[in-house]
Amino acid sequence: MNIIRHIIVRGRVQGVGYRAFVEREALRRGVEGWVRNRRDGSVEAVFARAQEKVDAVVEACRRGPYSARVEQIDQRDGTEDELKLRAPGDVFSMLPTA
């Protein structure tokens, strides 16, 4: 069964390659969605696929790339409308800052 998960990651997660890390981890696991920086310094992402695949990406987000420092991840169920924000034709998109 597929799920959609929305997360917001706080800590030192901008300017350290965090979005590229998230995109790589999602694509490696066949997870759809998007990632973007937020003006408040956090990173926001939406993932969709089977629960175990989404959970694996969220767990990778807890680590982040070497230079990141993840302090907190807030997560909730995502929506189809949120998933539709990705670029048409993309499996996973890196969106502009919101």
Alpha-carbon gap, residue 44 to 16, rounded angstroms: 15
8 confidence band (pLDDT: 50, 70, 90): very high
Confidence of residue 1 (pLDDT cuts 50, 70, 90): confident
The catalytic residue positions are 19, 37
Token pair for residue 55?
């959970």
Closest CA to 22 of 50, 63, 81: 63
Instruction: Assign 21 a pLDDT band (cuts: 50, 70, 90).
Output: very high
Please tell me the predicted confidence (pLDDT) of residue 36.
98
**In the chain, where are the structural domains located?**
2-87
CB 60 within 8 A of CB 28: no
Sheet containing 32-37: which strands, arranged edge to edge?
69-77, 2-12, 43-50, 32-37, 92-94
Token digits of residue 90? 């993309």
Q: Which amino acid is at 80?
A: E
The per-residue pLDDT for 27 is 98
- Cβ–Cβ under 8 Å, residues 86 and 33: yes
Q: Which residues pair with 10 in a beta bridge?
A: 72
Q: What is the pLDDT of residues 31-85, one digit of tens each?
A: 999 999 999 999 999 999 999 999 999 999 999 999 999 999 999 999 999 999 9
2-87: CATH class: alpha beta
